[in-house]
C-alpha cells in the first residue's frame, strides 16, 4: 500500500492459506478498505468473506456476470454450489 492506491484487486489472495493465514490477510484488508481504498476480492471460496464483509457479490461464469447480490449470495453459493447458475436457471429469479 506504499503508493496509496484507490483500488486493490486481490486475485485469489486466500488460495493456499490456512484459517490463521486468512485471518491475518483479512485484518490487513479490513484495515485498508473504506474511505481510502476500494477492494475487489476474487475468490472461489467464501471463507475469507467470514472475515471481510463484502458490499456486493458477483458470480462470473465464462467471463460474464451471471448473478449479483449482497453477502447472502456467497452463503447461497456455499450451500448450492454453482450448478444452478451454470444451467441458466437463476433460481427462478
Q: What is the pLDDT of residues 14-44, one digit of tens each?
A: 999 999 999 999 999 998 887 678 899 999 8
Domain hosting residue 42, numbered range: 1-53
Q: Are 74 and 47 part of one and the same domain? A: no
Q: Are 10 and 44 part of one and the same domain? A: yes
Count Cα neighbours of 87 within 13 Å in the Cβ-side half-sphere: 9
% of the chain surpassing 70 pLDDT: 90
Q: Are 65 and 49 part of one and the same domain? A: no
Q: Are 62 and 47 part of one and the same domain? A: no
Q: Are 26 and 61 part of one and the same domain? A: no
Q: Grid coordinates representing 57?
A: 457479490
Q: Are 49 and 78 part of one and the same domain? A: no
Q: Are 33 and 66 part of one and the same domain? A: no
**pLDDT at residue 2 is higher than 90:** no
Q: Which of 8, 57, 12, 14 is nearest to 31 (CA)?
A: 8
Which DSSP letter does residue 70 get? S
Q: Are 15 and 47 part of one and the same domain? A: yes
| Element counts in the chain: helices (H) and strands (E) | 3, 4
Q: Are 63 and 76 part of one and the same domain? A: yes
Query: How many structural domains comprise the chain?
Result: 2
Amino acid at each position: 500500500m506504499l503508493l496509496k492506491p484507490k483500488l486493490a484487486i486481490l486475485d485469489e489472495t486466500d488460495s493456499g492459506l490456512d484459517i490463521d493465514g486468512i485471518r491475518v490477510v483479512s485484518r490487513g484488508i479490513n484495515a485498508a478498505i473504506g474511505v481510502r481504498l476500494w477492494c475487489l476480492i476474487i475468490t472461489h471460496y467464501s471463507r475469507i468473506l467470514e472475515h471481510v464483509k463484502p458490499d456486493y457479490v458477483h458470480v462470473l461464469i465464462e467471463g460474464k456476470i451471471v448473478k449479483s447480490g449482497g453477502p447472502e449470495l456467497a452463503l447461497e453459493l456455499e450451500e448450492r454450489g454453482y450448478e444452478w447458475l451454470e444451467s441458466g436457471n437463476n433460481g427462478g429469479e
